Chain A
Amino acid sequence: MATAVMTTLDQRTRAASRGMSDISIRNLFIIPTILFLIVFNIFPLLYSLYYSFTDFRASTNAPANFVGLQNYRELLNDPFIWSNFAITAQYVIVSVTGQVLVGFGVAMLLNRDIPFKGLITTLLLLPMMLSMAVVGLFWKLLYDPSWGVINYALGLGNFEWLANPKMALYAVAITDIWMWSPFVMLLSLAGLSAVPKHLYEAAAIDRAGSFYTFFRITLPLVAPILMIAIIFRTMEAFKTFDLAYILTSQPTTEVISIRLYKMAFQEWQTGRSCALAYIVLIMVIAITNIYVKYLNKVKER
């Protein structure tokens, strides 16, 4: 019994003087949390699981008919859904790779004695702290072909970033890289500064060059924490919605979340969209699991 291990309340505390027992305090703190979780997370989760097996439409009053696995079968056979997944995969790869390269690179630059290191780090973290919607609107202005700062600075004339179907997805990814590289940088910096300095000295004595030292000492020792950053960013990028939705409405940028949103709230295919949501959830869990397996292997020392 959980109550058996609980220590009794100190008689002098205020709570005790009000006549509250350990159990009543536990209930006071934990029950609202559990209720909240049930109402807003667990119930919708189960409820949508039920809907995913029906042809329910939230826009009509028609009763939901149980259709079995039909929604799943149709979704998985739909080439358009697969193209949405392909777009998402492309986006995840570009954006996460970019974030890791930029974030880790900046962390390497910052991982030495430089003046104003703390201030620089804090300033570099700013993009991460902004709201997605603000970043989206802000970059829409920056990307503007006629008077946007980016074309002006790069001397690209009237280059179309968001209206160009080939470029739009990359433009969204670049914004995401700008916003989330600081996150990777922060974790990498923690990993880099945890590598003991004497290992670098030992490597120097062992006549290892800088590339060899980086790939054989630095990278393996930072790998576990870098892996955690990659897991977080992959999960987030897979579910991305706000940036892509705000920046552009190209069919080439229709990542899976946008498709899901349209299916649920524009086409009102509630049952089918619940099924799609479950497919996405299973995919995210699967990908994360692969990473976690690898992470455990890396940490095994």
Chain B
Amino acid sequence: MTQIELRGIQKFFGAVQVIKDLNLKIEDNEFIVLLGQSGCGKTTTLRAIAGLETIDEGDILIDGQAVQHLKCSDRDIAMVFQSFSLYPHMTVYENIAFPLRATRMSRSEVDKAVRGIAGVLRITDLLNRRPSALSGGDMQRVAIGRALVRRPKAMLMDEPIGALDAKLREEMRAEIKRLHLEQGSTTIYVTHDQVEAMSLADRIVIMHEGILQQVGSPSEVYSYPANLFVAQFVGSPVMNIAKAQVSEEAGSARVTVDGAEKGFAFPNELLGKIDRLKGANGSLALGIRPEGVMVEHQAREGFLPVEAQIIEPLGSYDIVDLKLGSQMLRARTRSGFVASAGDKVFARIDPTQAHFFDTKSGNSLGVRL
């Protein structure tokens, strides 16, 4: 039963501000993923919550109590470090027992707790080994075991599976999800991998250069990115972004991408929702994910002629780079749909998947069609 709240956190390293006015409320039992590029301040945020780093301003509240002046040990928060930080001179058993023995729990209770958690994590047969004799995946399990064994108020995980290979990462991702569902504790998980974030999170928190960009469920963040940074950071392959103009033509709305001769047809409601001046000022950008670009072989109403430039076959689907005027538009098609580079095809944009941004502030205009 733990809520964590961050209020106006500011953190400086010398003259460099690493966290800028961070506000966030984390509900009980929630799985929060902190997502951001390398160096954006994710680890620093986590360490501040854990108590390994002081903050310069703001409050950290755990269950409504300000804890920013408390030592780590008084906050009752467990953490899994990026490098695991297992104690090299202790066996797996002793590693997991460490947090219990440190608080003078009785021998039989320690034994019960350690064996219990080892069973959950499926590492019972490793208990007598030393960390140096473990594989990366095992080490990660032990690190999680050491964090979970004392049933902390909250779990912090700093890129716990960043060092594993792709296959193992996928496995561990599922494992972590399962553990969270079984054990249930408020969790903050740091990663720079958006796939990991999407698959694990109840809510994703996206950070960029110490500033919180957006908080929302994975589908919210994916479908309604709050600004250009989020739009381009979340989703793979990245969203197409191009400067565009909105105009009215023959009684219907048109969105013309800079460098293209003709515009895409959009429903008329767009006109009412968008300030046309924005387009005229050159501060409007259109964003569309590759799967929002529809491609046809025959010319049809609303489709513009484009030329395929590069085709990346990815197995279940292809990513095709389409040349539209001087712009490139990446589209996702059935595999083999566009036979070869240089083919002439026709494309249009699914208006319901289009995003409009103000390029000056970078913010989304919040247009939903």
Contacts and interface: CB of A to CB of B under 8 A. Distances in A.
Partners in one complex: yes
A225 to B, nearest CB: 13
Interface string B44-65: 0000001110000000000000
Contacts of A199: 85, 87
A201 B98 contact: no
A208 B103 CA distance: 7
Interface stretch (A23-31, A140-148, A215-223, A260-268): A215-223
Contact of A212 (B51, B85, B102): B102
Given A206-B102, A209-B102, A201 B89 contact: no
Contact of B85 (A202, A208, A209, A301): A202
A204 interface: yes
Contacts of A196: 85
A204 B85 contact: no
B79 interface: yes
A206 B99 contact: yes
Contacts of B89: 220-221, 301
A215 B246 CA distance: 71
B102 A301 contact: no
Contact of A203 (B83, B102, B132, B150): B102
Interface residues of B, number: 26
A198 interface: yes
Contacts of B98: 203, 206, 208, 216
B314 to A, nearest CB: 38
Interface in A219-248: 220-221
B365 interface: no
Nearest to A212: B102
B152 to A, nearest CB: 9
A205 B50 contact: yes
Contact of B52 (A205, A207, A220): A205
B85 A201 contact: yes
Contact of A205 (B78, B83, B101): B78
A56 to B, nearest CB: 53
A202 B51 CA distance: 11
A208 B101 CA distance: 8
Contacts of B243: none
A162 B88 CA distance: 48
A301 B89 CA distance: 6
Contacts of A205: 50, 52, 72, 77-79
B290 to A, nearest CB: 41
Interface in A252-283: none
Contacts of B146: 206
B77 A301 contact: no
Contacts of B51: 204
Contact of A207 (B73, B83, B85, B86): B73
A204 B71 contact: yes
A198 B43 CA distance: 13
Contacts of A217: 87
A196 B89 CA distance: 12
A201 B88 contact: no
A202 B132 CA distance: 17
Contact of A204 (B52, B76, B103): B52
B130 interface: yes
Nearest to A202: B85
Contacts of B132: 301
A198 B85 contact: yes
A198 B81 contact: yes
A217 B89 CA distance: 8
Contacts of A201: 52, 81, 85
Contacts of B52: 201, 204-205
Interface in B165-222: none
A202 B102 contact: no
Contacts of A208: 73, 98-99, 102
A207 B86 CA distance: 15
Given A198-B81, A212-B102, A301-B132, A204 B87 contact: no
A217 B102 CA distance: 11
A204 B72 CA distance: 6
B71 A202 contact: no
A202 B87 contact: yes
Interface in B138-157: 146, 150
Contacts of A209: 73, 102
A170 to B, nearest CB: 36
Closest 4 CB pairs of A and B: A206-B99, A208-B102, A207-B73, A202-B85
9 contacts: A204-B52, A205-B79, A206-B150, A207-B99, A207-B150, A216-B87, A220-B89, A221-B89, A301-B132
Given A203-B98, A207-B76, A301-B89, 11 more contacts: A201-B52, A202-B81, A202-B86, A203-B102, A205-B72, A205-B77, A207-B103, A208-B99, A209-B73, A209-B102, A221-B89
